[in-house]
Chain A
Amino acid sequence: MPSDDLPVIQTAGLTKIFKDFWWRNRVVAVDALNLEIRRGEVFGLLGPNGSGKSTTIKMLLGLLYPTRGRISVFGRAPTDVAVKSRIGFLPEESYLYRFLNARETLDYYARLFRLSGPIRQDRIDRLLGMVGLEHEAKRRVGEYSKGMARRIGIAQALINDPELLILDEPTAGMDPIGTRQIKDLIRDLGKRGKTILLSSHLLADVEDVCDRVTILYGGQQRAAGPTSELLSQRDLTQITTEKLPPEAVEEVRELLQRTAGKRILEVSSPSDKLETFFLRIVAEAQAANITTSGVRAAGELPDFLGGKPSAEQVIESLVSAARAPQRIEAEPAPTSKPAAQEPARKVIEQLTSPPKPAATPPPAKPAPAQEQTPERERKPVKADRSVIDSLTKKPDRPKNGQTPETSSD
């Protein structure tokens, strides 16, 4: 395993020129790009359509060959097959097999990582729960909406517990809830020590989750650096208070003018963001138990993804190692620290009012109905957090776990 200071991805003078039928240069898709992505970093690759983001990613995966320049992924060439067992990849669209159902799709990809049967089943169950599709797992993927297919795409990218996750437009086609979940997921994975390369043109997505970004235009790097540094407006200060009467604002204006010699540039009362509003409405619908054939509330991050393995996992891996010795090499060793699991758990703990025993595995079944408290009573102080928290909670379902037979779509 390479040492920690070695960049996970490094490119030098990476150039891709697409040729036409007569072998003439047609498009310079990527032009002398130098990237360096370090271990544990959430890195954003930004740019408008056609700026070379996807081309760069495909070269990093050996799906396209560079015209010039060098790439190293985990210190190896991107065409090296062994490297790929450490990577999870979600392409710009979820290219799935229409004739398979969600479970079979994940099973196929898990097989390609040479995971043994019991491990495959376990991971598939957990990932389906995570993306909220466990009840649609037997439907053909061809019948899925774009967002649902996207969720399967994300689940397949995580099936091998990758050290490096490459996500190309992960939120494309997703509803705001899904978008929010993906962002939370990326953040959680980042905290667990995964290296993540995120390509997007949805700036809000990138802004929320990325440690560092690079902005591409015409295949060239236009800006690069830590997100907070790039975005901070050093000559402005923002103060948020409770609602002020006009006279108070006037007093503050005078005070500022007198003491600091500065003037107020803008005074406004912020409106609720549409995203927040939307999330609240859906949360209410879920609380009211309205049925849907689409995605249900997503579950938490499965604990096989990085972090410290639970006691159960250790025993399981020992047992299966005895059964199938070669399986061990297919699974990368856990990379991050024990504490990394905590953030994801914290969210869940907020939800389930009577706290669960610490050793309990992630809830695979919906929480019993009597344990649920009304949504509004538990609303935490931060409005934003409360909405996503309530979304992560599973809605009430019939006790036998059957899918409701009606459709709202």
Chain B
Amino acid sequence: MARPPKRRLTETLALVPTAPLRAVDFCVDAYGGRALRCLWAVARQTIAEAVRMKLAIFFLVLLVLTFWAASRTEGDGTVSGRVQSFVTYSVTSAGVLLAVLSIFLSRSLSDELQQRQILMLMSKPLPRWQFLLGKWAGIVLLDAVLLAVTGLGVYLTATQYLARQTPLNDFDAGKLRFEVLTARHASPFVLPDFTREVNTLYARNLEEGVYDAIEDFAPLVEKDRLRKYLDGRWRNVPVGEERYFEFANVLCDRSEDSAIQIRYKAQANRYPPDEILRTQWIAGDRQKNTAIAATPRRDVIGRYHTIAFPADTVAPDHTLRVRFINVNPYAGEPQYDNRLFFEGPRGVEVLFQVGTFGGNLVRALVMVQCKLMFLAAVALMFATLFSFPVACFCSFITYLLAGMRQFIEDALGSLEAKGAVGLARAVISVMVDALGYVVPNFARYNPVELLADGRNVTLAWALQSVVYLVAIGAGVALLIACLFFYRREVSEVSV
């Protein structure tokens, strides 16, 4: 068969993408131990297969198309909105695409079993665990490379292309800089200590004989109820009143040109006709000699709003005091009589920059990679047991269950709460428990929302996903895979 002469050029070109492989080759050859040499041999074979079978290239093309589509989204028309939706879409879809790829790459093992290359492999001095681990490493490395390419693409598109579009207005520009392309830590306000008030109230009630008629009276429970009552009353701000929200450990850069943000969501007992709240926020603490900054606000009820304050309103001891006044500051606009309240621990939070968008993106991608590592291990586990179609099906079911676990738990949990009784209740609770043991909850390790919102994806969280998804999840899956594989007679073909 005649060979086209241009082969020489393609061979030369092929040296470029394979350079990292060669570099690892060199290192493993020079410094690798016995196990590492085998692991790397299997891993590079897996990568070579994915590349040669054009699977990886197909996914790369798909990734680029997704990027292109995501970068075309308009969002709410603002540049900050466009960046947010681009980051959300591109990282999410890259995660899904690579999850599918990870599952499909386990085909390599199924094929070797089916087409019997395994006979040659297992007659070499290659321990079975090293073979499995090598396969996994190959898939995981390929994922990592593709994810790194994704990360670079997201970063460059977001910061160098989208962020350079002309912003709609100053608000848009500020939002992009301080609320999207950043990594902010959010910390809730410190709840006032109600112990003295609770004790006073409790003593008075006791004195007045309020509790005399109650059977099984538990003082601790009653004190807790009183605390909640006082807390609720404190969170309610009637018209004309004010509240001081105290924050501790605001470890931000306190220089003049940097900023902190207060994020809050106010509810009202009665809505004004235009559904707009007119209030005032003042940051700073006179006693601690900080700068003082005041902002009048017109806010839509029941939505999160963010106000930026200069960072020098934070005291040197990293505390921050914010005063909220339920009085209309706008002359000529009517004062509406209503009571406002801030619900839950995140009702009012302070946000301050602790890192960069780049660092945040890296941590978020590490978490995505953890999921891929788990899926790759699961797919290999099934591949040691079943033929490719069955293994693939099982892996996808696992992926779906992991992705939907939160939803399923909520749904089944509410069924349970809504008075399912007897057998039904038992079955539901067993199902929820079993699900908890079989698949991890992917929703708990989803950093995309925070990333797009410019909120810090903490290193601790990323490490947590490493522990739960990789060390435990993938570890157990690989262990089971080894068990199956060692018991298995490789020369028998599974169908």
Q: Which residues of A contact B (CB under 8 A)?
A: 58, 61-65, 81-82, 84-85, 87, 89, 91, 93, 95-97, 99-100, 104, 108-109, 111-114, 116-117, 139, 143, 156, 166, 293, 323-324, 326, 403, 405-407, 409
Contacts and interface: CB of A to CB of B under 8 A. Distances in A.
B309 to A, nearest CB: 60
Contact of B3 (A109, A156, A405): A405
Given A63-B489, A143-B1, A104 B48 contact: yes
A95 B52 contact: no
B8 to A, nearest CB: 11
Given A293-B1, A326-B34, A406-B2, A61 B123 contact: yes
Contacts of B30: 323-324
Given A143-B1, A409-B1, A81 B53 contact: no
Contacts of A139: 1
Interface string B36-68: 011011000100110011000000000000000
B117 to A, nearest CB: 5
A58 B493 CA distance: 14
A63 B122 contact: yes
B120 A89 contact: yes
A95 B37 contact: no
Given A63-B119, A84-B123, A58 B53 contact: no
A96 B123 CA distance: 14
Contacts of B25: 117
Given A95-B117, A114-B38, A109 B490 contact: no
Nearest to A136: B1
B121 interface: yes
A225 B450 CA distance: 77
A62 B346 CA distance: 61
Contacts, number: 94
Q: Name the 9 nearest CB pairs between A and B, nearest first.
A: A111-B41, A99-B52, A89-B123, A85-B125, A112-B124, A84-B125, A63-B491, A95-B116, A95-B117
Q: Max chain A CB contacts within 10 Å: which of B1, B34, B118, B492?
A: B1
B42 to A, nearest CB: 8
A81 B125 contact: yes
Given A326-B33, A406-B2, A81 B127 contact: yes
B222 interface: no
A406 B2 CA distance: 6
A112 B122 contact: no
Contacts of B160: none
Given A104-B48, A326-B34, A405-B3, A58 B491 contact: yes
Contacts of A93: 116
Contacts of A62: 122-123
A58 B119 contact: yes
Given A97-B49, A116-B29, 9 more contacts: A58-B119, A62-B123, A81-B126, A97-B45, A111-B41, A112-B125, A113-B124, A117-B25, A405-B2
Nearest to A115: B37
Contacts of B126: 81, 84, 112
Nearest to A407: B1
B120 A109 contact: yes
Nearest to A107: B41
B115 A407 contact: no
A117 B2 contact: no
11 contacts: A58-B491, A63-B119, A81-B127, A95-B115, A95-B117, A109-B124, A111-B38, A113-B125, A116-B29, A139-B1, A409-B1
Contacts of B121: 112
A143 B121 CA distance: 21
Nearest to A114: B37
A326 B37 CA distance: 11
A99 B48 contact: yes
B312 to A, nearest CB: 61
Interface string B184-200: 00000000000000000
B489 A64 contact: yes
Contact of A112 (B33, B38, B492): B38
Contacts of A104: 48
Interface in B111-139: 115-127
Contacts of B37: 111, 114
Nearest to A65: B489
Contacts of B34: 114, 326
A173 to B, nearest CB: 15
Contact of B29 (A95, A156, A324): A324
Interface string B471-495: 0000000000000000001111000
B119 A95 contact: yes
A108 B41 contact: yes
A84 B124 contact: yes
A30 to B, nearest CB: 13
B128 to A, nearest CB: 9
Contacts of B1: 139, 143, 293, 407, 409
Nearest to A91: B119
A87 B123 contact: yes
Nearest to A293: B1
Contact of B122 (A61, A117, A406, A407): A61
A85 B34 CA distance: 12
Contacts of A113: 124-125
B143 to A, nearest CB: 20
Contacts of B492: 64
B386 to A, nearest CB: 14
Q: Max chain A CB contacts within 10 Å: which of B33, B118, B126?
A: B126
A87 B124 CA distance: 8
A293 B122 CA distance: 32
A324 B125 CA distance: 19
Contacts of A87: 123
Contacts of B116: 91, 93, 95
A48 to B, nearest CB: 20
Interface in B83-127: 115-127
A290 to B, nearest CB: 15
A409 B38 CA distance: 39
Nearest to B124: A112
B228 to A, nearest CB: 62
A64 B491 contact: yes
Contacts of A143: 1
Nearest to B490: A63
Contacts of B491: 58, 63-64
Contact of A407 (B2, B123, B124): B2
Interface in B5-52: 25-26, 29-30, 33-34, 37-38, 40-41, 45, 48-49, 52
Q: Max chain A CB contacts within 10 Å: which of B53, B121, B122, B125?
A: B125
A2 to B, nearest CB: 17
